[in-house]
Amino acid sequence: MPEFLTLLPPQDALKKILAYLTANPAPEQVDSDQALGRVTASPVLAPHPLPEFPRTTVDGFAVRAADTYGASESLPMYLNLIGEVPMGAAPNFELDSGSCALIHTGGMLPPGADAVVMVEYTQSARPKEVEILRAVAVGENVIEIGEDVRLDQVVILAGTRLRPAEIGGLMALGIAQVDVARKPLVGIISSGDEVVPPQQRPAPGQVRDINAYTLSAVVMEAGGETRMYGIVADTRHAMQAAAERARRECDLVVITAGSSASTRDLTAEILDGLGKPGVLVHGINTRPGKPTILAVCDSVPMIGLPGNPVSALVNTYLFVVPIIRTLLGEQPRPDAIRPARLTINLPSQAGREDWVPVKLISSIEGEPSGVMLAEPIFGKSNLIFTLARADGLLKIPADANGLAAGEIAEVYLI
């Protein structure tokens, strides 16, 4: 088993555990209107083209484009008005040369029409006659059949996290149900003789269980489900029994506390004996969260996090969230990162990656678009409201000796 304090950069540590994982192969079918945030298990193909008929994007007059060529305010063209396109129905007439029809946004073009003149570029001349003040090209102000989606086109890739836009797309195609990846079940174990449930008033020397609930919230936000295994005593027998049960029942197991170098903390030793290959990493080159354990026990990833709430939460974002995305088969997507200009100097130790909670403030006049001010929130790693007051985590790279006031840095939104 690796010795503690053989520290790995977080990116290297993550690659090490992800190399053992594959996407959960068991899909399930859900109603599309309930699929927000779910990850598609297979590609979604269009059952028909979209739109299914040519329609206008503006209010105006359906025309044959050739009938408008040369039209201008000083030399208008005159077309015969033969009718109005009904909304929600197909027109029962056809345009001949020299004719036009009133049409409203979204309406179906009548046969013979190939463009629409916006109403702003027309005038009423005589009854049943329209004055065209501007020429249009073929296809102007028109959405053609299949212009958005072709028949059998892959409209949503497998591994896509469904957003409101995708939900709307599914409804537009009449796809009422969609195959999504089953949510990974994440077991959460809290340990420590001093830890009590949140509902209980702590006695002197005791603290309420914070980590199980903050981690559960991150897991659900990332697309997983949680199963709480309660607060486990600081004994080998209790921890091993809980860890073994969670490994059998879950797709991922997270244990909070018990991951430091203390002889009381048996997490690494227990995880190393639960299955092959065992502990892969024991110690991450970050602050906060150095005493983090990454293991795979008979194909089940298991993570030991520090007990301090800030340390545990930071490393949940760094490791638990990417593991859940991998189990879901989710396609890589950009992290929510904002550039921000530091308000003060931030020292750092070279060779160690630091993550600092920051509050984002509206940028001052003259700043580049999108650049805000980042004001560090200082606090010890056992103070949960340090993170509750933060908008994001500012990253100080391992190759930096800190960052100076005025520098632009990356802030990962939380």
Where are the chain's structural domains?
10-26+182-328, 27-50+147-181, 55-143, 337-413
Q: Look at the alpha carbons of 113, 118, 119, 123 in this order and tell me if their dihedral is positive or negative.
A: negative
Question: Above 90 in pLDDT, residue 332?
Answer: no
Indicate the pLDDT class of residue 381, thresholds 50, 70 and 90: low
Question: Above 90 in pLDDT, residue 206?
Answer: no
Question: Taking the model in full, what pTM does it have?
Answer: 0.79
Question: Above 50 in pLDDT, residue 397?
Answer: yes
The mean predicted confidence, pLDDT, of the chain is 89
CB 131 within 8 A of CB 101: no
The string of pLDDT tens digits covering residues 128-185 is 999 999 999 999 999 999 998 999 999 999 999 999 999 999 999 999 999 999 999 9
CATH number of 27-50+147-181: 3.90.105.10
Pairing between strand 225-232 and 286-287?
Answer: unpaired
Residue 45: name the closest of 163, 169, 138, 136 by CA. Answer: 169
* pLDDT given for residue 368 in this prediction: 63
Cα separation of 67 and 53, whole Å?
A: 22
DSSP string of 192-238, one letter each residue: -TTEE-TTSPPPTT-EE--HHHHHHHHHHHHT-EEEEEEEEPSSHHH
* Least confident stretch, 121-135, 335-349, 350-364, 367-381: 367-381
Question: Above 50 in pLDDT, residue 3?
Answer: no
CB 77 within 8 A of CB 98: no
In this prediction, residues 107-124 reach a mean pLDDT of 96
The string of pLDDT tens digits covering residues 24-36 is 767 999 999 999 9
Q: Which CATH class is domain 337-413?
A: mainly beta
Question: Above 50 in pLDDT, residue 236?
Answer: yes
CATH topology of domain 55-143: Molybdopterin biosynthesis moeA protein; domain 3 (2.170.190)
Cα separation of 219 and 213, whole Å?
A: 10
Superfamily of domain 10-26+182-328: MoaB/Mog-like domain (3.40.980.10)
Q: Do 27-50+147-181 and 55-143 show the same overall fold?
A: no
What is the token pair recorded at 39?
């990850």
